[in-house]
Amino acid sequence: MKHAAATIASALLLLTAAIPGARAGEVTVPVDVGVGPAFHFVTGPIQDAQLVHYGLKLSVAAIIDKATLEANKGRIPKNYRGMVSKLAEVRFSPSIFIPDTLFISPKIDDTQMWGISWTPIGLGLTLANVPRVRLGADLRLTYAFIGSDRLGDTHFLRPGIDLNLDVEIPITDSFLVSLGWTSQFYVPQTVGGGILDTGPFEDTVWHIGQAYLLLHFRFPYTTNL
């Protein structure tokens, strides 16, 4: 809970740009853009038809490091400053606008998968800093067209939650590599059925496992606070 409060407090630091009378000043922060391949394992009959489906993993985040937090601590409410001082960094991602995953998997055996997935809200806990090891949980919304010669067509549209583990390794200050695993759990949807159809787990899509590798590129971004 303390980590969540500190993150909110740091967000307030950025939001002061919109408050009349707030002291203006330029702040430069790194923006991290990550992109790389993803491999999906759709538990159940889809995986029986084809083991792996391919895709693209995306991430965009502004990185606010400890030095920037300290330099602007006067903007953070006094009761949160102690919490913020213990953070190595804070990350903000406009993930409600930018998809987390694109499913791009042409038919190889007899099944194809095309779609998009967002994670509008998430929480995370950093277990180590170098390399950065993060354990997280996100709310998720996914649409995917799954076409199968054997099982019929499925327009998969479901909310869900996921649990994820990510390891980020710095190569240079501006180039990093991360790899991880995400287990996505959904309200079951019957394979070959309609969007509102559900049924026994063995006949549905209810879990998608995702393994990924991301290449991260960082560049400075200057804004007025």
Question: If you compute the radius of gyration of the chain from its CA atoms, what whole number of angstroms results?
Answer: 20
Cβ partners under 8 Å of residue 200, min gap 6: none
pLDDT at 56 over 60: yes
Q: Enter the CATH code of domain 29-62+90-220.
A: 2.40.160.20
Q: What is the pLDDT of residues 103-119, one digit of tens each?
A: 999 998 889 999 999 99
Read off the pLDDT of each residue in 204-209 and give the average, rounded to a whole number.
Answer: 97
- Across the strands, what pairs with 211? 39, 181
pLDDT at 15 over 90: no
Q: What is the pLDDT of residues 127-145, one digit of tens each?
A: 888 899 999 999 999 999 9
192: left (phi over 0), alpha (psi -120 to 50) or beta: left
Name the residue ranges covered by the structural domains of the chain. 29-62+90-220
Spatial separation of the C-alpha atoms in residues 78 and 74, rounded to whole Å: 8
Tell if the pTM clears 0.85, that is, is over it.
no
pLDDT at 197 over 50: yes
71 pLDDT tier (thresholds 50, 70, 90): confident
